[in-house]
């Protein structure tokens, strides 16, 4: 019984510490959440431009390697080109709208 009580108390302490950790993280991260999300979006847009650069006419010495990422970015392509201000798809061979 003593082992079970210790395990129960240990689990309770861990749960309280995890809850406190989440609260502290939220307290410090909440004011910057919008800026962090915007920065992540900018990085994703840049990555999309690097991967699709050769198809858009930008010379890319690493086009062979970045072509491997095309299947992964295809799902977000429509949102990306709309966000970039291109109302029609800029690529002839990728029809999305």
3-state secondary structure the chain: CHHHHHHHHHHHHHHHHHHHHHHHHHHHHHHHHHHHHHHHHHHHHHHHHHHHCCCCCCCCCCHHHHHHHHHHHHHHHHHHHHHCCCCCCCCCCCCCC
Mean pLDDT of the residues in the chain? 80
Taken as a whole, the chain contains a residue count of 97
Average pLDDT over residues 82-92: 73
Average pLDDT over residues 72-89: 78
pTM (2 decimals)? 0.58
* Among the ranges given (11-15, 28-32, 40-44, 87-91), the one the predictor scored with the smallest mean pLDDT: 87-91
DSSP state of 33: H
Residues 37-76: tens digit of each pLDDT: 999 999 988 888 888 777 777 788 877 787 788 788 778 8
């Amino acid at each position: 019984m003593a082992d079970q009580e210790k395990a129960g108390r240990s689990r309770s302490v861990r749960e309280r510490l995890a809850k406190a950790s989440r609260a502290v993280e939220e307290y410090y991260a909440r004011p910057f959440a919008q800026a962090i999300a915007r920065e992540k979006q900018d990085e994703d847009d840049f990555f999309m431009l690097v991967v699709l650069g050769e198809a858009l006419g930008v010379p890319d010495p690493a086009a062979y390697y970045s072509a491997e990422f095309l299947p992964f970015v295809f799902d977000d392509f429509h949102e990306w080109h709309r966000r970039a201000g291109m109302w029609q798809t800029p690529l002839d061979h990728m029809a999305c709208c």
